[in-house]
Amino acid sequence: MARYAKEHKDETRRRILETSSRRLKSDGVDGSGIAALMADAGLTNGAFYAHFSSKDDLIATVVAAELGAQRDATAALPPGREYLEQLVRGYLSVEHRDHPEEGCPSAALIEEICRGGDQVRAAYTDGIVGFADLIAERLDPVAPETQRVRVLAAFAGMVGTLQMARTVNDPQLSAALLEQGVANALDQLGDRKG
């Protein structure tokens, strides 16, 4: 009986994280109350506290899981620098622009993460640094730590470009922003060191 209960609890927690991730990225933190998040998972509000101590705990867990999945997907790309264009073009794509609920938590939630509590910001920092360090290793396998800030700055530009492309109501301008963002990011992540 205990084994079933543990498996059931793990499955329920996974379902809460999965549905909360989509809702948070589409509606934002403020637009996603506990009642809505739990309803999405097919559960009552009371079940929330069996899995998370607070909404910040849930948000921090979602952010950590999302950035971990982003890091894992990046790690699965082919080795070497040539994968960078694939990564950048995938990030700054029409598909990513049009489906924030399925995309990067940075582009969907960065302002709210910035205003979040220490737990949320720590989860974000750990996750984004891990993601950046993975890319930095590909840029400079000998001294990847020298590339961290450069990668983070390029990624910040990509996040801002994606947010702007989502915000403007002119489809041609939005597409042009995405293309220019690709060029900017690839230039910033180019062959130079330091």
Q: What is the mean pLDDT of each run of 10 residues along the chain (194 residues)?
A: 72 93 92 91 89 94 95 86 87 97 94 93 97 91 92 97 98 98 94 51
pLDDT at 9: 85
Phi, psi at 93, each rounded to 5°: -110, 160
Please list, in sequence order, all residues whose beta carbon lies within 8 angstroms of the beta carbon of residue 22, skipping any fewer than 6 positions away: 40, 101, 102
pLDDT at 141: 87
pLDDT at 40: 92
pLDDT at 194: 45
Q: Supply the DSSP symbol for 56.
A: H
pLDDT at 82: 74
Radius of gyration of the chain (CA): 18
DSSP-based three-state secondary structure for 138: helix
Half-sphere exposure at residue 193, Cβ-oriented, CA atoms within 13 angstroms = 10
Q: Which domains does the chain have, with CATH numbers?
A: 53-188 (1.10.357.10)
Find the DSSP H helices in the chain.
2-27, 34-40, 45-48, 55-75, 83-91, 94-98, 105-114, 118-139, 148-167, 171-188
pLDDT at 77: 87
pLDDT at 191: 59
pLDDT at 10: 87
Please list, in sequence order, all residues whose beta carbon lies within 8 angstroms of the beta carbon of residue 185, skipping any fewer than 6 positions away: 88, 92, 154, 155, 157, 158, 161
